[in-house]
Amino acid sequence: MPSTATSTLLSAGPLLFSPDVSAEGVAVLFAADVTRATVFAFELPAEEPAADGADVAVDRLGSKVASLLGVEPEDAVIRGLTVHPVSHAVYLSVARGRGAEAGPAVVRVGTDGQLGIVELDDLPVTSFELDDAPADDDERTDAWLDGTEATSQPREIHGVTLSLALVPVRRSTITGLAWVDGTLFVAGLSNEEFSSRLRRIRYPFDGSATATSVEIYHVDHGKYETQSPIRALTSFEGGSSILASYTCTPVVQFSVDDLRGQDLVRGRTVAELGPMNQPFSIVSYDRDGEEFLLVSNTRHPLLKIPASSVSSQAPLSVPLSEPGASRGVPREELDYPGITWMANLDRGRVVAVQHDDGDTRLRTFHASEL
């Protein structure tokens, strides 16, 4: 059985490459470890630039990752995806098993379709430990709807059967990463009463961070909320703001200038994408001179949103249960079922994991298809 142990990471979480590469070609891979409430920054050696137009595509991805890690297919759970800024290789965060004790691995998929384990312990690394993580004995829970947790159980709500797990809030300390103008943003839950947090951490790490509790108006729930974590986020408007998506499924815009740690910050809810649903990823791409957003979900289709509609959208503040309530910005359902994790190869291409015939595959979408 191949060795997949890493003493550096104890759990699999979100991954993100910095877009900035050193003169020697060194790229920085940020990897979140919820067990340690820590973000690690691994320095990867230079990789060969991708050939012009090279896509990434792998059939039977789940089976191949499981074989590489020496586990059954159902025990290789992808928890994040990012793209190398030079080689366009896809890096997958994989849990070897389900539950809090599942071990982590990072798997690299080249543009040639070849898979390999990234030996993280051999790489130069620095780290940043969050000082606001929920304690191990915090009795609060967070609801996961993605079906990946060992304790997931079917539950029928309003005629819809969901795969629901209630996990300790510690497991949602880090739910997403974004890079904005030299700063790493880390979303998740904290030990505060208003537990939903956005932290901004300067890289290289110097031990300091700014953490802001964030509040949103949840249209489907008809109230303001401070307990729900951001599930997916991306830089927006040239780095002046962040777009984030939550369970059940509001899309919210935050001004980066507001995220300075002084007070509770209220985001501007611009869309309600549908209830009883958990987003996986939110990415943007360019087509015919316009910018669009894609949001992948557990229950709803892959959704396409024109980015230009966000700035002109009035904040949503009326419950969906009331007559005339708005769902916000326009959206289009794309006929690509089963899309989960996504990232940009470049501004004109998006790479995604897609469920396919009882397995998964990795495929590249060109803007003309979206």
Alpha carbons 258 and 54: distance in angstroms, whole number: 39
pLDDT of residue 3: 35
Confidence of residue 99 (pLDDT cuts 50, 70, 90): confident
Alpha carbons 354 and 356: distance in angstroms, whole number: 6
> If you ran DSSP here, which 8-state letter would residue 239 be given?
G
pLDDT at 4 over 50: no
pLDDT of residue 1: 27
pLDDT at 283 over 90: yes
Confidence of residue 5 (pLDDT cuts 50, 70, 90): very low
Determine phi and psi for 277, rounding to 5 degrees: -155, 145
Across the range 305-315, mean pLDDT stands at 97
Query: pLDDT for 175-190, tens place per residue?
Result: 999 999 889 999 999 9
Tell me which residue of 148, 144, 176 sits closest to 13, measured CA to CA. Answer: 176
Confidence of residue 51 (pLDDT cuts 50, 70, 90): very high
Q: Which residue is listed with tokens 């030990």? A: 191
Alpha carbons 127 and 115: distance in angstroms, whole number: 26
- The neighbour count for residue 182, using CB atoms within 10 Å, is 11
Alpha carbons 216 and 72: distance in angstroms, whole number: 40
| Lowest model confidence (mean pLDDT) among 4-8, 57-61, 197-201, 309-313 | 4-8
Give the percent of the chain with pLDDT over 90.
Answer: 91
Query: pLDDT for 246-272, tens place per residue?
Result: 999 999 999 999 999 988 999 999 999
pLDDT of residue 6: 64
Domain boundaries, the chain: 8-129, 133-335
pLDDT at 293 over 60: yes
Q: Which residue is listed with tokens 């503040």? A: 317
Alpha carbons 112 and 346: distance in angstroms, whole number: 17
Query: pLDDT for 318-337, tens place per residue?
Result: 999 999 899 999 999 999 99
Determine phi and psi for 66, rounding to 5 degrees: -60, -45
Query: pLDDT for 52-67, tens place per residue?
Result: 999 999 999 999 999 9
Determine phi and psi for 219, rounding to 5 degrees: -65, -45
For residue 189, list its beta bridge partners. Answer: 196
As a whole number, the mean pLDDT across the chain is 95
CA distances to 46, 137, 275, 282 from 16, rounded to whole Å, are: 17, 29, 28, 13
Q: Which two tokens stand for residue 97?
A: 């098993």
99 versus 228: which is more confidently predicted? 228
Tell me which residue of 62, 138, 119 sits closest to 94, measured CA to CA. Answer: 62
Tell me which residue of 352, 314, 358 sits closest to 336, measured CA to CA. Answer: 352
> Residue 169 is which amino acid?
V
Confidence of residue 111 (pLDDT cuts 50, 70, 90): very high
Query: pLDDT for 81-93, tens place per residue?
Result: 999 999 999 999 9
Give the percent of the chain with pLDDT over 70.
Answer: 98
CA distances to 37, 76, 171, 293 from 12, rounded to whole Å, are: 12, 11, 11, 26
